[in-house]
Amino acid sequence: MITLMTYGGTAAEDAPGTRTGGLPLAAAGFAWPHCATCGGAMQFLAQIRLEDLAGAGRGLFAVFLCANDPGRCASWAPRAGGNRALVLPPRALTAAAPPASGRTGLGEVSAVTYVDVDAATYFDAATGWAKSEERSPRDVLGKLGGEPEWLQGDETPRCTGCEGVMMLVAQLEEGHDHRTGADFGGGGCGYGFLCAPCGEAVFLWQA
């Protein structure tokens, strides 16, 4: 069974739970991530409620990407400083104020609806669901958990603490509208990983 993340319409910028776009929900003292290469504030892409995924713990898995100068800052690489994945604790969460400069937000906030589909692969599940529901394939925003389906070679990361293989939290598409979505190289996928025991989070994308 594959759990698709499908477009559920627009949402408020501070909506709780899983969504793409808007503002991250964080505790007091949260520091907005900045790119290690250009120094600019990163773009907030998505937050995923970890309680929705067995074995992932609690809180929000938040993904940021440098979109200030696409192609320059290695935003695709897991540990090059051009993107950031964080686990935000499940307490005293409020919408974090973005920095005054930099491309910090997507053009739309999208609610996410989970749909379980019995299929052999994520791509079979996505195309089958879109056809059966008479929806655009772009209304599939990704999938929750399971095994990553790579567009290129396997880049499953290991935790730098325990050296264990990290679990996939979500595989993300660019979005239902190319004008307001993320940039994963034009039609690529993003991959968010977590080591639940150590709390280490990693993000990368392929196209």
- Give the mean pLDDT of the chain: 95
Is 81 within 8 Å of 64 (Cβ atoms)?
A: no
Note the pLDDT tens digit of each residue in 71-88.
789 999 999 999 999 999
H helix runs in the chain, sequence order: 122-133
Beta strands across the sheet bearing 140-144: 83-88, 60-65, 43-49, 19-20, 110-117, 2-10, 140-144, 167-172, 189-195, 200-206
Read off the pLDDT of residues 138-158 as tens digits, 9 standing for 90 and up.
999 999 999 999 999 999 999
Q: What confidence tier does 113 reach under pLDDT thresholds 50, 70, 90? A: very high
Distance (Å, whole) CA 145 – CA 113? 14
Asked if 63 and 25 count as a contact pair (C-beta separation under 8 A), the reply is no
Which amino acid appears at position 11 of this protein? A
Q: Are 22 and 105 a contacting pair, CB within 8 Å?
A: yes
Q: Are 23 and 96 in contact (CB under 8 A)?
A: yes
